[in-house]
Amino acid sequence: MWGSERCQRWLQKKHLKAYRFVMGQQNLLSTIRCEMVDDGREVYWFHAASYGEYNVIRPIIRTLRNEKRRCIVTFFSSSGYIALMNENEKSHEVDNIFYLPLDTKSNVKEFLDIVKPSKVIFAISEYWVNYLSELHRRKIPTYLVSMLVADSSYLLKWYGYPIRKVFKVFTKFMVLDERSKENLAKIGFNNAEVIGDPLFDNAIRIAKEPYQNAIIETFCAGNTPIFVAGSVSDANDLSLVSSLIEHEQGVKFLIVPHEIDAVTLHEVQEKIPAKSLLYTECTADTDFTDVQVLVVNILGSLSRIYRYGNWAYVGGGFTAYLHSVIEPAVYGIPVAFGPRIERKTTPKEMVRRGIGAIVTTPEGLCYWFNQVREVREQEDVKSRATAFIEANANFTQKVCANIEQ
């Protein structure tokens, strides 16, 4: 169906992300076969759903990759694939980057025949039944990193049985808390170990690296404080941030949407109650005198952009997919997010420590902002955030030790 040019043009116009996914699957196995030339190195295959999940395994790859070991990464998400492809042109941190072929038995067998991984590492919650079944049949050591199994998880319900059935493939589950370990034991898996989140190590490394962005620095020049709204994902996120923009005309805003297709960007700019520009419309010489909002419509830079902020809001918290709250926290700034934090341990701990806050309404976001408006309150948060980040550093080595056993 999607092979016709007419359908592809329609999809590209109406749903860019779906278009990229469809195009990425075309002739995919042939592409992988051409690029996976056997060079004598053992292959570690890493898989992440999207760019956010990749940041969990990034420090693991940096530790495990060497001249005798080839590290390849697959993505389900086009945004993750594109962001890492762009980064890898400069960093060369992985050997190969591919979309994940669809989870059919024939695709899985052909993919594994081509790649021939000696070990496989999945991030967070990627459960592809045919891949896991075939990995088990081939007796390939397979690991799940940064897993969280809440009491409400479908894995504990009767309808989670098809996934539980293929969990026998996992050599080890590396989970984020004791509750997850206990819940896995309830369903018969005693090969879990509580290990911290490698995402902290990745965020710490990024925060320490030099970064300059001439356009953003021109926008942020002067003494006007900066609010960063990252991974703005839906109408709820946009409503909260737009209300704050309207109330805080003495603050500049960097808004980084989770999706950057033309339809989404139009919706974002239409909702913003102030003059805004798109990042891609600007240069370092742009006059931002009357511009209160810069909409950053590029991929892969958010974790670095947070360094320009005095405060941050992280999107996705009105769905089950809150984005990374660790990325802004490493800069020691107050962080707000939506209420759906049941799938993650870090935001709960940030709330407990007074680093982060749950907001559910525009009024709630404005109230929180007033609580952390002053420099004194910001310094208090920075002190608590620094201690929190330091306490959660250096878990990558523990993860890697488990994989290399």
Q: Which of 53, 87, 134, 259 is catalytic?
A: 53
Q: Does residue 397 sit within a domain? A: no
Assess whether 178 and 60 both reside in one domain: yes
| Closest CA relative to residue 137, chosen from 113, 157, 154, 155 | 113
Q: Does residue 205 sit within a domain? A: no
| 53 catalytic per annotation | yes
The enclosing domain of 342 has a CATH number of 3.40.50.2000
- What integer pLDDT is reported at residue 2 of this predicted model? 43
pLDDT along the chain (405 residues), means of 10: 52 61 83 92 95 91 94 90 85 92 96 97 91 96 94 92 93 94 96 93 94 97 96 96 97 95 92 97 96 94 96 96 94 97 90 97 97 95 96 93 93
| Closest CA relative to residue 238, chosen from 258, 220, 219 | 258
Assess whether 247 and 332 both reside in one domain: yes
Q: Does residue 233 sit within a domain? A: yes
Assess whether 167 and 249 both reside in one domain: no
- What integer pLDDT is reported at residue 202 of this predicted model? 92
3 state DSSP class of 89: helix
Assess whether 30 and 148 both reside in one domain: yes
Q: Quick check: 46 and 192 in contact, CB under 8 A?
A: no
Residue type, 248: E
Last residue of a domain, one of 195, 228, 260: 195
Last residue of a domain, one of 166, 195, 224: 195
| Residues 6+ away with beta carbon under 8 Å from 387 | none
Q: Does residue 183 sit within a domain? A: yes
Q: Does residue 201 sit within a domain? A: no
Mark out the alpha helices in 168-272 (DSSP H runs).
178-186, 199-208, 214-220, 235-247, 262-271
Q: Measured between alpha carbons, how far is 190 from 150 in angstroms, rounded to an integer?
A: 16
Q: Does residue 399 sit within a domain? A: no
Assess whether 187 and 231 both reside in one domain: no
Last residue of a domain, one of 195, 219, 240: 195
Output DSSP code: residue 153: -
Assess whether 215 and 180 both reside in one domain: no
Assess whether 145 and 272 both reside in one domain: no
Assess whether 190 and 219 both reside in one domain: no
Output DSSP code: residue 157: S
Q: Measured between alpha carbons, how far is 251 from 313 in angstroms, rounded to an integer?
A: 14
Burial of 69 (0-12, 13-18, 19+ CB in 10 A): middle
Assess whether 273 and 189 both reside in one domain: no
Q: Does residue 403 sit within a domain? A: no
Q: Quick check: 131 and 138 in contact, CB under 8 A?
A: no
DSSP string spanning 54-70? HHHHHHHHHHH-BTTEE
- What integer pLDDT is reported at residue 5 of this predicted model? 58
Assess whether 109 and 229 both reside in one domain: no
- What integer pLDDT is reported at residue 321 of this predicted model? 87
Say how many C-beta atoms besides its own lie within 10 A of residue 23's C-beta: 16
The alpha carbon torsion through 395, 399, 400, 401 (nearest 10 deg) reads 100
Say how many C-beta atoms besides its own lie within 10 A of residue 217's C-beta: 11
Assess whether 123 and 70 both reside in one domain: yes
Q: Does residue 152 sit within a domain? A: yes
The parent domain of residue 233 ranges over 211-392
Number of domains the chain contains: 2
* Residue where the block lists tokens 């990193």: 145
Assess whether 175 and 256 both reside in one domain: no
